[in-house]
């Protein structure tokens, strides 16, 4: 009797598992749990990307009546997402904070992408189950409910996806609309519905990023090939007639008309058919291709187990390619890879260009693993299906854990460093805004990291990388001695002559006194820059002293303008050696190497460049060689009134020696050319 009751209980349990209502609510509950977990994980990486402030500045100018511009009066399309700008503009006009909204909305769109991944996976698993015999189908049906959720689980625990969801940028809007358009297309084909809704969402997606146009083109070409793959050349007229039938004509017009109007707007308002960022960031040259390949390889290493995750879909592709998705997914994935390589990858970290295809990769992987396991079961009847599928699920969850935990610390550091950077750049922006009030005029500032500093300063910004500057993007003047080195920066377009021709009041490096970007290093090979600008030190955050290069107040005339060839041993490579010395100086064990570099720089530098010698003095100070420190400081300060740090050092020395005449001489020069540094030092005695 007890055995019968036990059997009855087990049967009820099986019926419950097979119950579609139970499965529906089970999936919904799991997805809700994943949504909560995802939001919490995003909080762990919470930051705002500096590039997001470029969009925010466009929003500020647009809603303020200046037009869709970065600098008032300069028509340059330095953004990639007109839809994102329009959404944020509405939010700004309604009086809400666009910074916090962009982050919260981005996370919400990330949650929507997780759900959309599930719906696409569910449709594909339905097809998979339809091709099984009844006995096996019954066994697989229960496991498929969980299996359908696996791609969403994998996406939830993808650190790069969390990072970009909370970044304030349009990344998750593009991911969500890309997935939604793919889902609507497949749904329309399976259920033989109209393509109008698909076309509408695809149109919105094309207004988020230009790659949306590429995605639409891939789907349309696939659609024509899939539906008409058996057509002969005699059927071309029939195919053409069908393409221009109302069934297709209306969806095409829905997509083409807005994009055509946007093209007309671009040409008339900005003068170019593509966003300025495309011209500034990309280049079809070998360095860009190498950079693109490295970007793809890093992606494969981080989230696809060195590419092995792609092997299962490739192996079983022939077996299931008759299904819509398994013909479409590989094409989208491969073409996105090719596109990403061709444009040189991304200048920002963590694979935002590849996030739209990552859910497709996860879906393809999970289904292909289950197909592989199913085939294994069919070939070897002694295998227990009840243990095979749980084992498969456990393996996939193990991969998910690996993908989350391995890069976790790296992503946390990236989020932390970006937060620190934005905090610093924001503070400098506010400092520049105060300067504008002080001088009662607009300031012109050249810089390489333009986001937060532009948003908070409201100054005229010269983007040294050309993202928001058409002259640099379309007419770069790279220098081989600079561009032939590896700086760690991917932006290779710059034009120093153009930058200096605009006579910026300030030139600002995100790395302080150290020139790191190609454009920054190239400045040090300009006689104009070396003669007319000097580093100015000021306090903008707590106990932090920031550096900005300021135009000299004294006019440099022909008599005191020093040319590079004044030093017969001048070598342009001095700037690369200077950068290397500054990088090495952080660690005391590199003291000897830094001394060697600085001594070498001293022989080949411009005669009015003394900052390598100043760094040499700091190394000797670390080594407690006060005589050498004093000797170097006195020598370089005697040749350059603008060397505030050297003059301040000497002022302190002479004050202690009670030589007040020399003390006053040096401190007066600091007060004249760098008063804020002197004030900071007096306040921190």
Taking CB atoms within 8 Å and a gap of at least 24, the contacts of 620-627 are 622/588, 622/591, 623/591
Q: What sign does the dihedral 371-376-382-387 (CA atoms) show?
A: negative
Count Cα neighbours of 247 within 13 Å in the Cβ-side half-sphere. Answer: 11
Q: Domain ranges in the chain?
A: 2-44+80-406, 408-561
pLDDT at res. 134: 46
- The helix or strand, by DSSP H or E, that contains position 237, with its residue range, turns out to be helix 236-243
For helices 626-639 and 611-622, angle between their N-to-C axes, nearest 10 degrees: 160
CB 115 within 8 A of CB 175: no
Can you tell me whether residue 563 is helix, strand or coil? coil
Nearest CA among 152, 160, 167, 169 for reference residue 112: 152
pLDDT at res. 138: 45
Cα separations (Å) of 128 from 311, 377, 653? 19, 15, 81
Residues in the chain: 685
Can you tell me whether residue 620 is helix, strand or coil? helix
pLDDT at res. 230: 52
Predicted TM-score (pTM) above 0.85: yes
Residue 389 CB partners (closer than 8 Å, separation 6+): 139, 140, 143, 147, 370, 373
Percent of the chain at pLDDT exceeding 70: 86
Count Cα neighbours of 504 within 13 Å in the Cβ-side half-sphere. Answer: 26
Can you tell me whether residue 536 is helix, strand or coil? strand
Distance of alpha carbon 105 from alpha carbon 109, whole angstroms: 6
pLDDT at res. 331: 92
pLDDT at res. 225: 75
Distance of alpha carbon 166 from alpha carbon 169, whole angstroms: 8
- Which residue in this structure is represented by tokens 């970044």? 167
pLDDT at res. 133: 45
Q: Which residues of the chain have pLDDT under 50?
A: 1-3, 5-17, 133-141, 383
Distance of alpha carbon 356 from alpha carbon 198, whole angstroms: 17
pLDDT digits (tens, 9 = 90+) for 421-469: 999 999 999 999 999 999 999 999 999 999 999 999 999 999 999 999 9
DSSP 102-153: HHHHHHHHHHHHHHHHHHHHHHHHHHHHHTS-HHHHHHHHHHHHHHTTHHHH
Looking at the chain, the number of H-run helices and the number of E-run strands are 33, 5
Distance of alpha carbon 640 from alpha carbon 443, whole angstroms: 26
């Amino acid at each position: 009797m007890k055995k019968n009751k036990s059997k009855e209980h087990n049967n009820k349990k099986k019926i419950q598992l097979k119950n579609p209502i139970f499965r529906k609510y089970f999936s919904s509950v799991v997805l809700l749990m994943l949504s909560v977990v995802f939001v919490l994980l995003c909080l762990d990486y919470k930051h705002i990307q500096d590039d997001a402030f470029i969009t925010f500045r466009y929003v500020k100018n647009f809603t303020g009546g200046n037009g869709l511009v970065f600098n008032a009066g300069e028509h340059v399309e330095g953004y990639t997402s007109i839809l994102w700008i329009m959404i944020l503009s509405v939010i700004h006009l309604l009086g809400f904070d666009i910074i916090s909204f962009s982050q919260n909305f981005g996370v919400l769109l990330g949650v929507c992408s997780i759900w959309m991944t599930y719906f696409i996976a569910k449709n594909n698993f339905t097809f998979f189950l339809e091709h099984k015999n009844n006995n096996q189908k019954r066994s697989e049906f229960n496991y498929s409910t969980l299996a359908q959720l696996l791609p969403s689980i994998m996406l939830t625990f993808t650190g790069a996806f969390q990072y970009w969801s909370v970044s304030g940028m349009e990344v998750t809007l593009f991911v969500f609309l890309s997935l939604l358009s793919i889902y609507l297309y497949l749904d329309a084909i399976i259920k033989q519905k109209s393509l109008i809704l698909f076309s509408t969402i695809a149109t919105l997606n094309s207004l988020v990023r230009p790659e949306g146009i590429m995605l639409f083109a891939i789907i349309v070409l696939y659609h024509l090939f899939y539906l008409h793959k058996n057509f002969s050349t005699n059927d071309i007229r029939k195919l053409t007639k069908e393409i221009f039938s109302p069934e297709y004509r209306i969806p095409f017009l829905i997509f083409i008309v807005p994009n055509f109007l946007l093209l007309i707007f671009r040409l008339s308002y900005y003068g170019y058919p593509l966003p300025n960022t495309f011209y500034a960031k990309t280049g079809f040259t070998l360095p860009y291709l190498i950079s693109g390949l490295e970007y793809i390889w890093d992606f494969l290493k981080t989230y696809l187990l060195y590419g092995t995750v792609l092997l299962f879909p490739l192996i079983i592709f022939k077996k299931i390619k008759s299904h819509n998705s398994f013909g479409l997914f590989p094409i989208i994935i491969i073409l996105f890879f090719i596109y990403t390589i061709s444009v040189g990858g991304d200048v920002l970290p963590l694979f935002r260009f590849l996030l739209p295809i990552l859910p497709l990769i996860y879906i393809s992987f999970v289904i292909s693993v289950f197909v592989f396991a199913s085939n294994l079961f069919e070939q070897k009847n002694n295998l227990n299906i009840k243990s095979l599928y749980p084992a498969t699920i456990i393996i996939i969850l193990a991969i998910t854990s690996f993908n989350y935990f391995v890069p976790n610390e790296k992503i946390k550091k990236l989020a932390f460093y970006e937060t620190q950077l934005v905090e610093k750049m924001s503070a400098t922006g506010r400092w520049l805004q105060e300067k504008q009030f002080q001088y009662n005029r607009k300031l012109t500032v050249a810089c390489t990291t333009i986001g937060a500093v532009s948003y908070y300063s409201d100054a005229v910004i010269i983007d040294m990388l050309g993202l928001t500057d058409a002259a640099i993007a379309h007419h770069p003047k790279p220098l081989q001695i600079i561009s032939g080195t590896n700086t760690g920066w991917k932006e290779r377009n710059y034009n120093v002559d153009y930058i200096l021709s605009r006579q910026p009041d300030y030139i600002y490096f995100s790395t302080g006194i150290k020139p790191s970007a190609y454009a920054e290093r190239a400045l040090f090979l300009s006689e104009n820059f070396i003669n007319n600008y000097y580093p100015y030190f000021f306090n903008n955050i707590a106990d932090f002293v920031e550096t900005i290069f300021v135009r000299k107040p004294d006019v440099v005339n022909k008599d005191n303008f020093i040319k590079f060839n004044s030093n017969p041993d001048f070598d342009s490579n001095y700037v690369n050696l200077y950068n290397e010395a500054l990088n090495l100086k952080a660690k005391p064990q590199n003291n000897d190497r830094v001394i060697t570099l600085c001594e070498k720089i001293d022989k080949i530098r411009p005669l009015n460049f003394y900052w390598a010698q100043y760094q040499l003095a700091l190394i000797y100070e670390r080594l407690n060689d006060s005589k050498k420190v004093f000797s170097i400081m006195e020598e370089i300060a005697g040749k350059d009134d603008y060397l505030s740090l050297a003059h301040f050092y000497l002022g302190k020395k002479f004050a202690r020696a009670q030589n007040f005449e020399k003390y006053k001489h040096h401190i007066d020069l600091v007060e004249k050319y760098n008063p804020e540094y002197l004030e900071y030092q007096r306040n921190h005695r």
